[in-house]
Structure 1
Protein backbone atom coordinates (compact mmCIF):
# COMPACT_ATOMS: atom_id res chain seq x y z
CA UNK A 1 0.00 0.00 0.00
CA UNK A 2 1.50 3.32 -0.98
CA UNK A 3 1.14 6.72 0.68
CA UNK A 4 -1.60 7.68 -1.74
CA UNK A 5 -3.76 4.79 -0.48
CA UNK A 6 -3.15 5.74 3.17
CA UNK A 7 -4.31 9.39 2.99
CA UNK A 8 -7.97 8.72 2.12
CA UNK A 9 -8.20 6.21 4.97
CA UNK A 10 -6.75 8.71 7.38
CA UNK A 11 -9.16 11.34 6.12
CA UNK A 12 -12.05 8.96 6.55
CA UNK A 13 -11.02 8.16 10.12
CA UNK A 14 -10.65 11.87 10.94
CA UNK A 15 -14.02 12.62 9.42
CA UNK A 16 -15.63 9.80 11.40
CA UNK A 17 -14.12 11.10 14.62
CA UNK A 18 -15.46 14.57 13.79
CA UNK A 19 -18.95 13.20 13.14
CA UNK A 20 -18.91 11.23 16.39
CA UNK A 21 -17.76 14.30 18.30
CA UNK A 22 -20.43 16.54 16.73
CA UNK A 23 -23.36 15.50 18.98
CA UNK A 24 -21.18 15.91 22.05
CA UNK A 25 -20.12 19.35 20.89
CA UNK A 26 -23.67 20.34 20.09
CA UNK A 27 -24.85 19.04 23.46
CA UNK A 28 -22.14 21.01 25.24
CA UNK A 29 -22.97 24.15 23.27
CA UNK A 30 -26.64 23.60 23.99
CA UNK A 31 -25.94 23.18 27.69
CA UNK A 32 -23.93 26.41 27.74
CA UNK A 33 -26.68 28.25 25.88
CA UNK A 34 -29.31 26.74 28.16
CA UNK A 35 -27.40 27.76 31.27
CA UNK A 36 -26.98 31.28 29.90
CA UNK A 37 -30.70 31.50 29.08
CA UNK A 38 -31.63 30.19 32.52
CA UNK A 39 -29.32 32.74 34.15
CA UNK A 40 -30.82 35.51 32.03
CA UNK A 41 -34.35 34.44 32.98
CA UNK A 42 -33.37 34.32 36.64
CA UNK A 43 -31.79 37.78 36.45
CA UNK A 44 -34.87 39.21 34.74
CA UNK A 45 -37.21 37.69 37.32
CA UNK A 46 -34.99 39.00 40.12
CA UNK A 47 -35.06 42.52 38.68
CA UNK A 48 -38.82 42.37 38.15
CA UNK A 49 -39.34 41.19 41.73
CA UNK A 50 -37.14 44.00 43.03
CA UNK A 51 -39.02 46.63 41.00
CA UNK A 52 -42.41 45.27 42.06
CA UNK A 53 -41.28 45.19 45.70
CA UNK A 54 -40.02 48.78 45.50
CA UNK A 55 -43.37 49.82 44.05
CA UNK A 56 -45.34 48.03 46.77
CA UNK A 57 -43.24 49.59 49.53
CA UNK A 58 -43.68 53.05 47.98
CA UNK A 59 -47.44 52.47 47.86
CA UNK A 60 -47.31 51.42 51.52
CA UNK A 61 -45.73 54.74 52.48
CA UNK A 62 -48.46 56.61 50.61
CA UNK A 63 -51.14 54.43 52.22
CA UNK A 64 -49.85 55.45 55.65
CA UNK A 65 -50.28 59.13 54.77
CA UNK A 66 -53.78 58.56 53.36
CA UNK A 67 -54.86 56.56 56.41
CA UNK A 68 -53.79 59.41 58.69
CA UNK A 69 -55.57 62.06 56.66
CA UNK A 70 -58.80 60.09 56.27
CA UNK A 71 -58.71 58.98 59.93
CA UNK A 72 -58.95 55.41 58.67
CA UNK A 73 -57.88 53.31 61.66
CA UNK A 74 -58.02 49.93 59.90
CA UNK A 75 -55.90 51.17 56.99
CA UNK A 76 -53.42 52.75 59.39
CA UNK A 77 -52.94 49.56 61.40
CA UNK A 78 -52.60 47.55 58.18
CA UNK A 79 -49.33 49.33 57.39
CA UNK A 80 -47.48 47.55 60.22
CA UNK A 81 -46.76 43.99 61.27
CA UNK A 82 -48.13 43.25 64.76
CA UNK A 83 -44.67 43.25 66.39
CA UNK A 84 -43.47 46.38 64.58
CA UNK A 85 -41.56 48.89 66.71
CA UNK A 86 -41.85 52.67 66.49
CA UNK A 87 -39.79 55.63 67.61
CA UNK A 88 -40.84 59.16 66.72
CA UNK A 89 -40.43 62.28 68.80
CA UNK A 90 -41.11 61.43 72.42
CA UNK A 91 -42.77 58.14 71.53
CA UNK A 92 -40.82 54.89 71.77
CA UNK A 93 -42.77 51.64 71.70
CA UNK A 94 -44.76 49.38 69.40
CA UNK A 95 -46.37 50.60 66.20
CA UNK A 96 -49.70 49.32 67.53
CA UNK A 97 -49.39 51.66 70.50
CA UNK A 98 -48.21 54.47 68.22
CA UNK A 99 -51.40 54.18 66.16
CA UNK A 100 -53.41 54.64 69.36
CA UNK A 101 -51.22 57.64 70.22
CA UNK A 102 -51.53 59.19 66.73
CA UNK A 103 -55.30 58.75 66.51
CA UNK A 104 -55.74 60.70 69.75
CA UNK A 105 -53.75 63.57 68.21
CA UNK A 106 -55.55 63.51 64.86
CA UNK A 107 -59.10 62.98 66.15
CA UNK A 108 -59.79 66.60 67.30
CA UNK A 109 -58.11 68.17 64.26
CA UNK A 110 -60.26 69.77 61.60
CA UNK A 111 -58.04 68.72 58.69
CA UNK A 112 -54.69 67.01 58.07
CA UNK A 113 -52.49 66.56 55.02
CA UNK A 114 -49.38 64.37 54.97
CA UNK A 115 -47.18 64.72 51.87
CA UNK A 116 -44.61 62.00 51.12
CA UNK A 117 -41.61 62.70 48.86
CA UNK A 118 -37.97 61.78 48.17
CA UNK A 119 -38.83 58.10 48.42
CA UNK A 120 -35.84 55.74 48.32
CA UNK A 121 -36.30 51.96 48.60
CA UNK A 122 -33.79 49.11 48.81
CA UNK A 123 -34.81 45.45 48.59
CA UNK A 124 -32.96 42.28 49.56
CA UNK A 125 -35.19 39.24 49.12
CA UNK A 126 -38.02 39.54 51.64
CA UNK A 127 -36.37 42.44 53.45
CA UNK A 128 -36.79 46.09 52.55
CA UNK A 129 -35.35 49.42 53.68
CA UNK A 130 -36.74 52.84 52.84
CA UNK A 131 -36.34 56.51 53.52
CA UNK A 132 -38.85 59.21 52.67
CA UNK A 133 -39.52 62.83 53.57
CA UNK A 134 -42.83 64.01 54.99
CA UNK A 135 -44.49 67.39 55.24
CA UNK A 136 -47.60 67.45 57.45
CA UNK A 137 -50.22 70.14 57.95
CA UNK A 138 -52.64 70.10 60.88
CA UNK A 139 -55.59 72.51 60.92
CA UNK A 140 -56.68 72.94 64.50
CA UNK A 141 -58.35 75.32 66.92
CA UNK A 142 -55.86 78.02 67.81
CA UNK A 143 -54.19 77.44 71.14
CA UNK A 144 -55.18 80.99 72.06
CA UNK A 145 -58.78 79.82 71.88
CA UNK A 146 -59.65 82.29 69.14
CA UNK A 147 -60.01 81.13 65.54
CA UNK A 148 -57.93 78.44 63.87
CA UNK A 149 -54.28 77.87 63.05
CA UNK A 150 -52.19 75.63 60.79
CA UNK A 151 -49.32 73.67 62.32
CA UNK A 152 -46.69 72.40 59.88
CA UNK A 153 -44.20 69.60 60.52
CA UNK A 154 -41.36 68.32 58.37
CA UNK A 155 -39.02 65.37 58.73
CA UNK A 156 -38.27 61.85 57.51
CA UNK A 157 -39.49 58.29 57.97
CA UNK A 158 -36.76 55.64 57.99
CA UNK A 159 -38.29 52.18 57.82
CA UNK A 160 -37.43 48.51 57.72
CA UNK A 161 -39.94 46.30 55.92
CA UNK A 162 -40.65 42.59 55.70
CA UNK A 163 -42.55 40.60 53.08
CA UNK A 164 -44.70 37.75 54.37
CA UNK A 165 -46.84 35.63 52.05
CA UNK A 166 -46.31 38.23 49.33
CA UNK A 167 -47.33 41.21 51.50
CA UNK A 168 -44.98 44.04 52.46
CA UNK A 169 -45.44 45.84 55.79
CA UNK A 170 -43.34 47.97 58.12
CA UNK A 171 -41.49 46.09 60.86
CA UNK A 172 -39.57 49.09 62.29
CA UNK A 173 -40.07 52.84 61.92
CA UNK A 174 -37.79 55.66 63.01
CA UNK A 175 -39.38 59.07 62.59
CA UNK A 176 -37.18 62.16 62.38
CA UNK A 177 -38.55 65.65 63.13
CA UNK A 178 -36.63 68.53 61.55
CA UNK A 179 -38.97 71.52 61.36
CA UNK A 180 -42.22 72.82 62.84
CA UNK A 181 -44.01 76.15 62.75
CA UNK A 182 -47.53 77.54 63.21
CA UNK A 183 -49.42 80.08 61.11
CA UNK A 184 -52.79 81.69 61.81
CA UNK A 185 -55.54 80.47 59.45
CA UNK A 186 -57.07 83.11 57.21
CA UNK A 187 -60.40 81.30 56.86
CA UNK A 188 -62.07 78.84 59.26
CA UNK A 189 -62.31 75.36 57.83
CA UNK A 190 -66.05 75.23 58.47
CA UNK A 191 -66.58 78.23 56.17
CA UNK A 192 -65.65 76.22 53.09
CA UNK A 193 -68.78 75.25 51.12
CA UNK A 194 -70.03 71.76 51.89
CA UNK A 195 -68.66 69.12 49.52
CA UNK A 196 -65.60 71.14 48.51
CA UNK A 197 -63.18 69.95 51.19
CA UNK A 198 -61.75 66.62 52.30
CA UNK A 199 -63.64 64.43 54.74
CA UNK A 200 -62.87 61.38 56.85
CA UNK A 201 -63.53 57.72 56.16
CA UNK A 202 -65.93 56.49 54.97
CA UNK A 203 -67.55 59.76 53.82
CA UNK A 204 -64.67 61.14 51.76
CA UNK A 205 -65.17 60.92 47.97
CA UNK A 206 -62.08 58.70 47.75
CA UNK A 207 -63.98 55.74 49.20
CA UNK A 208 -67.08 56.31 47.10
CA UNK A 209 -65.27 56.76 43.79
CA UNK A 210 -62.91 53.87 44.50
CA UNK A 211 -65.86 51.60 45.18
CA UNK A 212 -67.30 52.55 41.78
CA UNK A 213 -63.94 51.89 40.12
CA UNK A 214 -63.63 48.48 41.76
CA UNK A 215 -67.14 47.55 40.67
CA UNK A 216 -66.16 48.22 37.06
CA UNK A 217 -68.19 51.38 36.68
Structure 2
Protein backbone atom coordinates (compact mmCIF):
# COMPACT_ATOMS: atom_id res chain seq x y z
CA UNK A 1 0.00 0.00 0.00
CA UNK A 2 1.46 3.36 -1.00
CA UNK A 3 1.58 6.26 1.38
CA UNK A 4 0.47 9.75 0.33
CA UNK A 5 3.24 12.20 1.13
CA UNK A 6 2.71 15.41 3.04
CA UNK A 7 3.30 18.70 1.24
CA UNK A 8 6.93 19.77 1.17
CA UNK A 9 8.16 23.27 1.98
CA UNK A 10 8.67 23.76 -1.78
CA UNK A 11 5.04 22.71 -2.45
CA UNK A 12 3.80 25.18 0.16
CA UNK A 13 5.99 28.00 -1.16
CA UNK A 14 4.87 27.32 -4.75
CA UNK A 15 1.23 27.59 -3.65
CA UNK A 16 2.04 30.72 -1.62
CA UNK A 17 3.51 32.27 -4.78
CA UNK A 18 0.22 31.49 -6.56
CA UNK A 19 -1.71 33.31 -3.81
CA UNK A 20 0.57 36.31 -4.10
CA UNK A 21 0.40 36.32 -7.92
CA UNK A 22 -3.40 36.33 -7.72
CA UNK A 23 -3.24 39.65 -5.89
CA UNK A 24 -0.50 41.03 -8.19
CA UNK A 25 -2.44 40.09 -11.34
CA UNK A 26 -5.46 42.00 -10.10
CA UNK A 27 -3.32 45.10 -9.47
CA UNK A 28 -1.30 44.89 -12.72
CA UNK A 29 -3.97 46.55 -14.83
CA UNK A 30 -6.48 45.36 -17.35
CA UNK A 31 -6.34 43.95 -20.83
CA UNK A 32 -6.08 40.66 -22.68
CA UNK A 33 -2.50 40.01 -21.61
CA UNK A 34 -3.33 40.65 -17.94
CA UNK A 35 -6.48 38.49 -18.15
CA UNK A 36 -4.44 35.65 -19.66
CA UNK A 37 -1.81 35.95 -16.93
CA UNK A 38 -4.60 35.81 -14.34
CA UNK A 39 -6.25 32.79 -16.00
CA UNK A 40 -2.91 30.96 -16.09
CA UNK A 41 -3.11 30.70 -12.29
CA UNK A 42 -6.08 28.33 -12.66
CA UNK A 43 -6.72 24.95 -14.26
CA UNK A 44 -8.96 25.28 -17.38
CA UNK A 45 -11.99 23.79 -15.59
CA UNK A 46 -11.53 25.86 -12.41
CA UNK A 47 -14.43 27.42 -10.54
CA UNK A 48 -14.44 30.69 -8.62
CA UNK A 49 -17.35 31.26 -6.20
CA UNK A 50 -17.92 34.90 -5.22
CA UNK A 51 -20.04 35.73 -2.18
CA UNK A 52 -20.32 39.46 -1.60
CA UNK A 53 -23.26 41.66 -2.62
CA UNK A 54 -24.10 38.94 -5.10
CA UNK A 55 -23.50 35.21 -5.21
CA UNK A 56 -21.92 34.07 -8.47
CA UNK A 57 -19.85 31.18 -9.77
CA UNK A 58 -17.44 31.71 -12.65
CA UNK A 59 -16.38 28.50 -14.39
CA UNK A 60 -13.59 27.70 -16.80
CA UNK A 61 -11.30 29.98 -18.74
CA UNK A 62 -14.14 32.07 -20.22
CA UNK A 63 -15.86 32.51 -16.87
CA UNK A 64 -12.67 33.59 -15.12
CA UNK A 65 -11.90 36.07 -17.91
CA UNK A 66 -15.43 37.47 -17.61
CA UNK A 67 -14.94 37.91 -13.85
CA UNK A 68 -11.55 39.62 -14.38
CA UNK A 69 -13.01 41.95 -17.03
CA UNK A 70 -16.06 42.69 -14.87
CA UNK A 71 -13.94 43.65 -11.87
CA UNK A 72 -11.64 45.88 -13.90
CA UNK A 73 -14.32 47.65 -15.94
CA UNK A 74 -16.99 48.06 -13.24
CA UNK A 75 -14.92 48.91 -10.14
CA UNK A 76 -12.20 51.59 -9.77
CA UNK A 77 -9.41 48.99 -9.52
CA UNK A 78 -6.75 51.53 -10.45
CA UNK A 79 -7.45 53.23 -7.10
CA UNK A 80 -7.20 50.04 -5.04
CA UNK A 81 -4.43 47.74 -3.90
CA UNK A 82 -4.93 44.04 -3.10
CA UNK A 83 -2.84 42.29 -0.49
CA UNK A 84 -2.64 39.05 1.44
CA UNK A 85 -3.16 38.58 5.13
CA UNK A 86 -2.60 35.46 7.20
CA UNK A 87 -2.69 32.16 5.33
CA UNK A 88 -2.65 28.43 5.99
CA UNK A 89 -1.71 25.79 3.42
CA UNK A 90 -2.31 22.10 4.07
CA UNK A 91 -2.72 18.89 2.12
CA UNK A 92 -0.91 15.86 0.84
CA UNK A 93 0.02 14.23 -2.42
CA UNK A 94 -1.22 16.24 -5.39
CA UNK A 95 -4.00 18.10 -3.57
CA UNK A 96 -3.79 21.06 -1.22
CA UNK A 97 -6.07 23.53 0.49
CA UNK A 98 -5.27 27.15 1.20
CA UNK A 99 -7.24 29.33 3.57
CA UNK A 100 -6.14 32.97 3.40
CA UNK A 101 -7.21 36.50 4.12
CA UNK A 102 -7.40 39.24 1.54
CA UNK A 103 -7.50 42.99 2.02
CA UNK A 104 -8.33 45.71 -0.49
CA UNK A 105 -6.99 49.15 0.43
CA UNK A 106 -7.29 52.56 -1.14
CA UNK A 107 -4.16 53.79 -2.92
CA UNK A 108 -5.78 56.92 -4.39
CA UNK A 109 -8.57 59.36 -3.51
CA UNK A 110 -9.24 57.94 -0.04
CA UNK A 111 -7.42 56.37 2.89
CA UNK A 112 -8.06 53.04 4.55
CA UNK A 113 -9.54 49.67 3.80
CA UNK A 114 -12.08 49.16 1.01
CA UNK A 115 -13.00 45.60 1.97
CA UNK A 116 -11.62 42.38 3.40
CA UNK A 117 -12.46 38.72 3.54
CA UNK A 118 -11.21 35.19 3.01
CA UNK A 119 -10.45 32.81 0.19
CA UNK A 120 -10.80 29.06 0.57
CA UNK A 121 -8.92 27.35 -2.24
CA UNK A 122 -8.36 23.87 -3.56
CA UNK A 123 -5.10 23.36 -5.44
CA UNK A 124 -4.14 20.45 -7.59
CA UNK A 125 -0.73 19.43 -8.91
CA UNK A 126 -0.60 18.02 -12.43
CA UNK A 127 2.64 16.98 -14.08
CA UNK A 128 4.51 18.84 -11.34
CA UNK A 129 2.55 22.12 -11.67
CA UNK A 130 0.32 23.52 -8.90
CA UNK A 131 -2.73 25.57 -9.92
CA UNK A 132 -6.02 26.55 -8.34
CA UNK A 133 -8.92 24.22 -9.08
CA UNK A 134 -11.56 25.94 -6.97
CA UNK A 135 -11.71 29.21 -5.02
CA UNK A 136 -14.45 30.55 -2.76
CA UNK A 137 -14.37 34.21 -1.76
CA UNK A 138 -16.25 35.34 1.33
CA UNK A 139 -16.39 38.98 2.36
CA UNK A 140 -16.20 39.93 6.00
CA UNK A 141 -19.53 40.89 7.63
CA UNK A 142 -18.57 44.58 7.60
CA UNK A 143 -18.68 44.64 3.78
CA UNK A 144 -19.44 48.27 2.82
CA UNK A 145 -22.50 47.69 0.65
CA UNK A 146 -23.14 51.41 0.26
CA UNK A 147 -19.70 51.81 -1.38
CA UNK A 148 -20.16 49.00 -3.88
CA UNK A 149 -23.85 49.17 -4.77
CA UNK A 150 -23.50 52.16 -7.16
CA UNK A 151 -20.85 50.25 -9.15
CA UNK A 152 -23.08 47.17 -9.36
CA UNK A 153 -26.06 49.29 -10.38
CA UNK A 154 -24.03 50.81 -13.24
CA UNK A 155 -22.46 47.52 -14.40
CA UNK A 156 -24.76 47.14 -17.42
CA UNK A 157 -23.36 50.43 -18.76
CA UNK A 158 -19.73 50.12 -17.67
CA UNK A 159 -18.83 46.46 -18.31
CA UNK A 160 -16.31 45.94 -21.12
CA UNK A 161 -14.52 42.81 -22.29
CA UNK A 162 -10.77 42.91 -22.73
**TM-score, normalized by length of structure 1?**
0.53
CA contact (8 A) 2:58 2:67 kept: no
CA contact (8 A) 2:117 2:139 kept: yes
SS at match of 2:8: helix
CA contact (8 A) 2:101 2:117 kept: yes
Residues 115-141 of structure 1: CA deviation (Å, up to 9, x unaligned): 11211001211111110000013668x
Identify the residue that residue 123 of structure 2 maps to in structure 1: 161
**TM-score, normalized by length of structure 2?**
0.70
What is the distance in 1 between the residues matched to 2:68 and 2:115? 14
Identify the residue that residue 123 of structure 1 maps to in structure 2: 91
In structure 2, do the counterparts of structure 1 residues 95 and 86 end up closer, same or farther at CA, with 3 Å as the change threshold? farther
Task: Point out where structure 2 has 5 or more consecutive residues left out of the alignment.
Answer: 148-162
In structure 2, do the counterparts of structure 1 residues 64 and 83 end up closer, same or farther at CA, with 3 Å as the change threshold? same
Residues 133-164 of structure 1: CA deviation (Å, up to 9, x unaligned): 00013668xxxxxxx55771100000000011
Identify, as 1 or 2, the structure richer in helix. 1
Between stretches 84-93 and 62-71, larger displacement belongs to 84-93
CA shift, 1:75, in A, is: 1.8
What is the distance in 1 between the residues matched to 2:21 and 2:114? 20
Q: 1:136 aligns with which of 72, 96, 104?
A: 104
Task: Point out where structure 1 has 5 or more consecutive residues left out of the alignment.
Answer: 1-45, 141-147, 183-217
Identify the residue that residue 59 of structure 1 maps to in structure 2: 17
In structure 2, do the counterparts of structure 1 residues 100 and 139 end up closer, same or farther at CA, with 3 Å as the change threshold? farther
CA shift, 1:113, in A, is: 0.9
